[in-house]
Amino acid sequence: MQDSQGGWGRDLWVGLFVLVGLLSLAYLSFQVGGVQYRGPGGLSLVAVFDEVGSLKPRAQVVVGGVKVGQVEAIHLDRDFRARVFLELDGDLALPSDTSASILTAGVLGDQYIALEPGADERTLVSGDQIEYTQGAVILERLIGKLVQNLGAGPKK
Amino acid sequence: MVDVAMAVRRLGAETIETVRGLGEFGVFSWRLTDAGWRPPLRIGRLVSEVYDVGVLSLIIITVSGLAVGMVLGLQGHNTLVRFGAEESLGAVVGLSLVRELGPVLTALLVAGRAGSAMAAEIASMVVTEQLDGLRMMSVDPLDFVVSPKAFAMLLAMPLLAALFVTCGIFGGYFVGIVLLGGDGGNYLSALESAVNFEDDVAGGLLKAVVFGALVGLIATFRGFTAAPTSAGVSAAATSTVVVASVATLVFDYIITALWGV
């Protein structure tokens, strides 16, 4: 090539530059951005809660504190309960009496769903519904109840 | 009465001039893009330009990225510690870098470092009649000289922005964790749970691509249409930095307003 920088060294540097740029991109996308290949055959479950609090799509789903999936969507049921769709790792064999509860990470943290595996022989397959659920605890209601109970308590 | 008529006339002349300039820029952009796609593809020229724009900008981008990340880490830590929320430092640093600071600062730095040089180079070719020489040999200077430069800018900008953000994340880590003694696992997990691909990373990349196209087009246009004098060369370099920086910031707002990234 007739370029001034001279073929070899220039090509090498450009190659290195593109490589470093692509590596940064990959780091941002996969590590930071959390793109993950969840191949066909992920486990999709449904759980119905009375109250989801501030649970949002993409919230974590954990078993024993380990992340196994995320909340895909939240819809309102016909009987005004929240129907939460979960997308979990495909090779997860959860017993069919697994229970789901909405918890909060820290005092002001995000809400997430914790699954507690039961002891049943049968396992949940895609499309199944989780029977035992425990909705989110709303702090204001809890305090309200506490104040009421204290007020109504025995006076000495 | 005559004064008013003169003022109105000047307003009209200014308007026509502005619209004519924009139209010229549009035609130039179209012709450049068209020439860039058509074979023969100037791969060798493109690689050479990527060297000038990308490789030679590596140092300024890594150092600036680290510095910006370190400042974010320090400022974020000092503010968050009041609310006892130091553990969200990673989210603050990551989101602000990926969505805003990475693409915008990269575009400003590249416009200053490579865009001005690009405009000055093309403008000095205009002055020394090299472009006319090419035309005389029936080589289209847009195809041979100008379009590889603009495409190199478009190609290099997202890569440089990604590098900037990555350096910034580690700069923030260095200050928040190593110097101020935060928890490293918390930093990274807050970062990873706050930043997601579709909204944040893809949005930041979209910005970088748009800014790359803008800076590349403005720099080559200013150089190509420079007055054939030595003052014209310096004016082309200066106005490239000014116009490209303003355009970057304005388009940043527009993209954020339209797509919320």
pTM for this model (two decimals): 0.75
In angstroms, the CA B221 to CA B119 distance is 8
Ranges of each domain in chain A:
1-35, 43-140
Contacts of A32 in chain B (CB under 8 A): 94, 98, 169, 191-192, 195, 201
Contacts of A28 in chain B (CB under 8 A): 98, 162, 165-166, 195, 201, 204
Q: How much of chain B, in percent, has pLDDT values that exceed 90?
A: 59
The residue-averaged pLDDT of B17-34 equals: 91
Query: Which of B45, B51, B66 to mutate: most A Cβ within 10 Å?
Result: B51
Chain A interface residues facing chain B, Cβ-Cβ under 8 Å? 1, 3-5, 10-11, 13-14, 16-18, 20-22, 24-25, 27-29, 31-35, 58, 60, 108, 110
- Classify the phi-psi angles of B227: left when phi > 0, otherwise alpha if psi is within -120 to 50, otherwise beta: beta
pLDDT digits 0-9 by tens, A16-55: 888 888 898 888 887 777 666 555 567 888 999 888 888 8
A13, A25, A34: residue with CB nearest B162: A25
In angstroms, the Cα distances linking B97 to B42, B74, B101 are 34, 14, 5
The residue-averaged pLDDT of B13-36 equals: 90
Contact B54 A27 (CB under 8 A): no
Choice between A59 and A36, residue whose per-residue pLDDT is larger: A59
pLDDT digits 0-9 by tens, A66-97: 888 888 888 998 888 899 998 888 888 888 88
Residues with Cβ within 8 Å of B30's Cβ and at least 6 positions away in sequence, in order, are none
B185 reaches A (C-beta below 8 A): no
The residue-averaged pLDDT of B246-250 equals: 95
In angstroms, the CA A48 to CA A23 distance is 42
* ipTM confidence score: 0.70
First to last CA, chain B: 51
pLDDT digits 0-9 by tens, A104-125: 876 667 788 999 988 888 888 8
B139 reaches A (C-beta below 8 A): no
Contacts of B58 in chain A (CB under 8 A): 17, 20
- What angle in degrees, to the nearest 10, is found between the helix axes of B184-194 and B89-96? 50
